[in-house]
Chain A
Amino acid sequence: MAGAKPAGSPAREADGAAASAVKSAQAEGRLADARERYAELVGRHQRRASRIAFHYLRDAAEADEAVQDGFVKAYSHLQTFREEFPFEVWFTRILINGCLDRIKARTRRERWITSMPDGPGGERDFAERTAGHGPSPEDQLLAKERGRRVATALAKLPDRQRTVFMLSHYEGCSSREVGAITGLNESTVRVHLFRAIRKLRVLLNEANL
């Protein structure tokens, strides 16, 4: 599980130290110092945060905004962060709540406004992507199509199942970490994960994937 960091890992300890330093700098009014130390935390977590936000929102620009909002919010509420919990867990919770709020707002908007059809990342993202030295174009196309269908199926899952699936499977969080982020106990996390997979299989079989 690539994204998960075991408890007490150096990265987690570094996060804790940085968060404490930012808090004390904020309290003493050394705001430039606080921002500088906070930039370390942003640098360590923004890739993962962007990925999570993108899997939720399926729009790169909106994911960018959600990540920015999440970091700004975390910074302004850092005094409420308790060091005994990993910063990653605390921040992911803020980020996911922000993403869910955005999805709700988008659903409300779409009720009134017909959206333009575009790809998973939107037209602007397609233009931004560059060809790399990866799989063949056919494979990339197939993977994209598969990804689009999986994303469509994921969007049909209930919020909790989707969150558990994305954190467990995409981000490699353990049941315990997912439980800490979502507020569920470990066995409930596993039940949600199982249900999410079962439902995904059904939805994707219907879509012939």
Chain B
Amino acid sequence: MKPIFSRLAGGHLDDATLAAIWTSTPAAGATLPAGAADPHLASCGECRVRYDAFASWMEEIRADARMEAAEIFTPERLAAQQAVISRRLEAAERPARVIAFPKFPAGGSGRTAPVRRWIAAAAAAGLLVGVGLGSIMDLRHVAERRGFPATRTVQQPRVDATARAVVPASAVVSEELLLLELEAAATPQYEALRAYETLTPRAADFLQSSR
């Protein structure tokens, strides 16, 4: 490091220079042999006094810091610290332990656990079978074959397409119209969903196909 040997009036060394000299000694803070770093320091008593004051100020700071730390970190505290470190090292080397989640309250319901499991499994299986059958079979046709009307529709005489076209809407108010109205009301107005909407089967299609 190049010390900045700036001078005060009268050629005396300034504070920064004294600090530079202090730090440039082989071991900072060691007793400086007179004139070792700066010839002026060797010859000027005033600068020498200032340098010594600076060095003792630095030493004071160090002593304060060490004393403060020594007061806090007593041998007992350090022993406790070492014990904590040992425990942590030991804990870190132990394999991780998985804590079991509590299964049931201590009321003794543990004996019915297999029964509960069977019930849950049967319910799930029943649900799956029901959904599967429902999707495969059209229950309406099953009901009709057994003689029950699937829906309460008014039996109307068969008419051709042109005749149906002229029948006033009020005369044939049926579930179909109601469903169509509901569907129209529920149809989202977003363009992005149009594609999904076209792919989605409509209730009206089912009703028409069932006729």
Q: Name A's B-contacting residues (CB within 8 A).
A: 1, 4, 31, 35, 38-39, 42-43, 46-47, 50-51, 54-55, 60, 64, 67-68, 71-72, 75-76, 120-121, 125, 128-129, 132, 134, 143-144, 146-147, 150, 168-170, 172, 174-175, 187, 190-191, 193-194, 197-198, 201
Contacts and interface: CB of A to CB of B under 8 A. Distances in A.
B129 interface: no
A5 B204 CA distance: 92
A72 B86 CA distance: 9
A35 B89 contact: yes
A147 B1 CA distance: 29
29 contacts: A1-B27, A1-B29, A4-B27, A39-B82, A43-B82, A46-B85, A47-B78, A50-B69, A54-B68, A67-B81, A72-B85, A72-B88, A120-B68, A125-B72, A132-B71, A143-B63, A147-B64, A150-B64, A169-B61, A170-B65, A170-B66, A172-B27, A193-B23, A194-B19, A194-B23, A197-B19, A197-B23, A201-B15, A201-B19
Contacts of B22: 197
Contacts of B77: 64, 128
Given A47-B73, A51-B73, A143 B81 contact: no
B64 A169 contact: no
A51 B69 contact: yes
Interface bracket on B: 35 or more
Contacts of B78: 46-47, 50
Main secondary structure of the interface of A (DSSP, over half): helix
A46 B93 contact: no
A67 B77 CA distance: 12
B62 interface: yes
Nearest to B16: A198
B28 A169 contact: yes
B19 A190 contact: no
Contacts of B30: 1
A170 B62 contact: yes
Nearest first, the 6 closest Cβ-Cβ pairs linking A and B are: A190-B1, A51-B69, A147-B64, A50-B73, A197-B19, A194-B23
B160 interface: no
A75 B89 contact: yes
Contacts of A42: 82, 85
A72 B62 contact: no
A64 B81 contact: yes
Contacts of B86: 35, 39
A125 B77 CA distance: 11
Nearest to B78: A46
Contacts of A47: 73, 78
A172 B73 CA distance: 19
Interface string B44-59: 0000000000000010
A129 B58 contact: no
B27 A194 contact: no
Contacts of B3: 194
B73 A54 contact: yes
Contacts of A190: 1, 23-24
